[in-house]
C-alpha cells in the first residue's frame, strides 16, 4: 500500500516500502535506488532511496521510499487521484550495486499493479 501523509491543497508526501529478495549465496552491496512513481497513469515524480545496508545472502530487505508532491506542479488531477482508496501504480527505476573488483552496476526494474491508498 501507499501511505498518504500531509495531504493538503498544496501537496502531499507519499510513503511505501519495497521488499527485495536476494536468493544468491553472497551479499548484495546495494548502494542506491533511483525511481519514478506513477499513479493512475500520472507521473508523480522522480526520487532516490538509500538502503539501510547490504542485502544478505539468501535473505530479504525492506527499502522505505518517500516522494514529496507539489499540486501546483502536478495539477488538480493528482489531488483528486489521492482522494480515492485504490490506484494503479507503476514504479520504474534502477538499482545501483557495488561489485567488488568491477565497480558499480545498474540493474533496471519495472513494477506495476494496483495498490491501496492509506491515510
Question: pLDDT tens digits, residue range 93-107?
Answer: 998 988 777 888 888
**Tell me, what's the pLDDT at 28?**
85
Question: pLDDT tens digits, residue range 79-89?
Answer: 788 888 899 99
In this prediction, residue 113 has a pLDDT band, given cuts at 50, 70 and 90, of very high
Give the span between the Cα atoms of 118 and 115, in whole angstroms.
9
Instruction: Put residue 10 in one of left, alpha, beta given phi > 0 → left and psi -120 to 50 → alpha.
Output: alpha
Question: pLDDT tens digits, residue range 11-49?
Answer: 888 898 888 888 988 888 888 899 998 888 888 888 988
**Tell me, what's the pLDDT at 88?**
92
Q: What pTM, to 2 d.p., does this model score?
A: 0.76
Amino acid at each position: 500500500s501507499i501511505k498518504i501523509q500531509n495531504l493538503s491543497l498544496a501537496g502531499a508526501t507519499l510513503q511505501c516500502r519495497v521488499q527485495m529478495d536476494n536468493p544468491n549465496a553472497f551479499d548484495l552491496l546495494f548502494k542506491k535506488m533511483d525511481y519514478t512513481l506513477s499513479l493512475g497513469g500520472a507521473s508523480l515524480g522522480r526520487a532516490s532511496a538509500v538502503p539501510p545496508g547490504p542485502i544478505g545472502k539468501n535473505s530479504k530487505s525492506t527499502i522505505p521510499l518517500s516522494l514529496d508532491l507539489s499540486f501546483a506542479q502536478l495539477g488538480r488531477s493528482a489531488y483528486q487521484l489521492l482522494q480515492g482508496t485504490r490506484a494503479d501504480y507503476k514504479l520504474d527505476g534502477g538499482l545501483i550495486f557495488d561489485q567488488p573488483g568491477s565497480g558499480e552496476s545498474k540493474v533496471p526494474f519495472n513494477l506495476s499493479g494496483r495498490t491501496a491508498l492509506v491515510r
